């Protein structure tokens, strides 16, 4: 990688919307167990298949976490500058999904959260 976000852009470029399969992210006691996931990726070999299943799996993981904890999805941070991932989540669940419209979704918006927290202490 030669800059932040390069890997995310590469995944976006490789994404194939005709692929609906996904990798399953196993979580145990709040920790993502990724060994099986990586082994599946190695077996799949094809970059577009791997990228597509990875993005599809991340989208499903985000939605599953919202359902598990009965919370709306608040999508912020640099990872949600990945348009493909954001659009995939919105295509699977459009209710109770929030993301910044007037603030930067990456680190530039952190101070707003800090200010909100400080005002509500």
Tens of pLDDT, residues 63-88: 998 888 888 888 887 888 888 999 99
- Binned at pLDDT 50, 70 and 90, residue 51 comes out as very high
Domain ranges (residues) in the chain: 6-119
What average pLDDT does range 95-101 have in this prediction?
84
Q: What is the pLDDT of residues 12-37, one digit of tens each?
A: 999 999 999 999 998 888 888 889 99
Residue 22: closest CA among 79, 75, 92, 81: 92
The pTM of the full predicted model, rounded to 2 decimals, is 0.84
pLDDT at 55 over 90: yes
pLDDT higher than threshold 80 for residue 110: no
Homologous superfamily of 6-119: ATPase, nucleotide binding domain (3.30.420.40)
Rounded CA-CA distance 88/111 in Å is 28
């Amino acid at each position: 990688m030669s800059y932040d976000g390069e890997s995310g852009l590469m995944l976006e470029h490789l994404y194939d919307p005709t692929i609906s399969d996904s990798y399953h992210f196993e979580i145990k006691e709040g920790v993502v167990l990724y060994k099986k996931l990586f082994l599946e990726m190695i077996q799949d070999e094809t970059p577009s298949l791997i990228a597509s299943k990875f993005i599809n799996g991340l989208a499903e993981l985000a939605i599953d976490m919202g359902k598990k904890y009965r919370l709306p999805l608040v999508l912020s941070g640099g990872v949600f500058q990945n348009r493909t991932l954001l659009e995939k989540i919105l295509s699977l669940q459009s209710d109770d999904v929030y993301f910044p419209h007037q603030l930067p979704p990456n680190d530039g918006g952190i101070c707003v959260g800090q200010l909100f927290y400080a005002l509500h202490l």
